[in-house]
């Protein structure tokens, strides 16, 4: 394996290629799945009319548009993300007439030179766990935030607390091996599972009044077929199948195994599986 040449190179390549393209394909399903958690993070941000807000790792832009609605016509939102395919979806999103001005910026939030003290708030739905140097990234975000400005984001707690991730892996265990566990502080979905690490990273970045609240909710909402398809394309099982370069037949077998395993979670509102996240807040 070659060493990354620039900050966050491995993650940025992934979000422009395999995982990024998968997120584009399943954008509607992922938005439905993540909406309740993102809404929790935006509530914690306590946004006000007329504010200037940064949405970090905005991806396909669902939260960016929600923020634009919250800050109204005198407000401004910048969605920053290095993934060109996801930004293309974001830029094509309809925006309500009364929403604030939106700019989507193709950049790395760890290193981009934001205008100093320009943001009233910095928000993110699962877009801040992918930095090689999270202390430097959060220092950069704080430098772009007005004194007293608010930070609010959501991130996953441990995989073992998130059955929507472990269930598919267990169901398909005889077909594909789980990805080798990454180091707990490696960039990735679980990089901020440990609350003491989150506090240390934010403190290193110069943030104050750091608070972590547990947020537990059932997520999903698709029917059995849609949910089984989604769970074999994203999350740890999706990653394992991509890594194993699984062919269509193997993916179909995994999908059938996942479908059987999630059947007990089917409700009239679709398949709903417990999830466990942190809602993190701080001030600049
Ligand atoms: C799990 S996705 C979440 C996307 C979006 N916030 C959502 O909820 O749909 C993580 C996002 O973080 C972005 N990301 C990864 N590294 C980043 C970096 N260094 N700076 C900004 N965004 C980054 C990815 O491109 C991806 O869009």
Residue 3: pLDDT over 60: no
Q: Please measure the distance between the N-terminal and C-terminal CA atoms of the chain and give it in whole angstroms.
A: 38
Q: Report the separation in Å between the CA atom of 235 and the middle of ligand 1, taken as the mean of its atom positions.
A: 14
Task: Kindly indicate the confidence band of residue 1, based on its pLDDT and cuts at 50, 70 and 90.
Answer: very low
- Tokens linked to 247: 């062919």
Residue 221: pLDDT over 50: yes
The helix/strand/coil state of 154 is strand
Residue 12: pLDDT over 90: yes
Atom of ligand 1 nearest to the CA of 62: 9
Q: What's the confidence (pLDDT) of residue 34?
A: 97
**Ligand 1 atom 23: the closest Cα is on which residue?**
57
Pocket of ligand 1 (CB under 6 A): 8, 11, 15, 30, 34, 38, 56-60, 62-63, 80-83, 86, 108-110, 125-127, 130-131
- For 265, what's the count of Cα atoms within 13 Å in the CB-facing half-sphere? 24
Question: Strand 266-267 vs strand 270-283: parallel, antiparallel, or unpaired?
Answer: antiparallel
- Tokens linked to 231: 């769970």
Test site for ligand 1: of 14, 54, 56, 59, most ligand atoms within 8 A of the Cβ: 59
- pLDDT tens for 101-151 read 999 999 999 999 999 999 999 999 999 999 999 999 999 999 999 999 999
CB-based contact 119:59 (threshold 8 Å): no
Instruction: Bin 235: left if φ > 0, else alpha if -120 < ψ < 50, else beta.
Output: left
The closest alpha carbon to 178, from 195, 160, 192, belongs to 160
> Residue 74, Cβ neighbours under 10 Å: how many?
11
């Amino acid at each position: 394996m070659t060493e990354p040449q620039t900050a966050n190179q491995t993650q940025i390549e992934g979000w422009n290629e395999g995982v990024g393209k998968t997120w584009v394909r399943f954008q509607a399903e992922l938005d439905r799945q993540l909406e309740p958690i993102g809404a929790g993070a935006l509530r914690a941000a306590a946004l006000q009319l007329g504010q200037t807000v940064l949405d970090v790792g905005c991806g396909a832009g669902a939260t960016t548009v929600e923020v634009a609605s919250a800050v109204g016509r005198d407000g401004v939102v910048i969605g920053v993300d290095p993934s060109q395919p996801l930004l293309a979806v974001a830029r094509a999103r309809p925006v309500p007439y009364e929403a604030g001005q939106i700019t989507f910026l193709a950049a790395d939030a760890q290193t981009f030179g934001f205008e100093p003290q320009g943001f009233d708030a910095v928000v993110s739905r699962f877009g801040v766990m992918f930095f090689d140097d999270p202390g430097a990234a959060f220092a950069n975000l704080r430098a772009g935030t007005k004194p007293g400005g608010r930070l609010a984001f959501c991130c996953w707690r441990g995989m073992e607390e998130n059955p929507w991730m472990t269930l598919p892996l267990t169901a398909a265990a005889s077909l594909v091996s789980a990805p080798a566990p990454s180091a707990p502080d490696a960039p990735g979905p679980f990089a901020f599972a440990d609350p003491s690490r989150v506090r240390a990273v934010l403190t290193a970045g110069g943030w104050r009044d750091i608070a972590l609240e547990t947020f537990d909710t059932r997520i999903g909402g698709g029917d059995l077929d849609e949910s089984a398809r989604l769970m074999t394309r994203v999350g740890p099982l999706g990653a394992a199948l991509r890594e194993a370069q699984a062919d269509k037949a193997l993916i179909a077998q995994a999908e059938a195994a996942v479908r059987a395993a999630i059947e007990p979670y089917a409700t009239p509102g679709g398949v709903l599986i417990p999830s466990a996240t942190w809602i993190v807040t701080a001030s600049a």
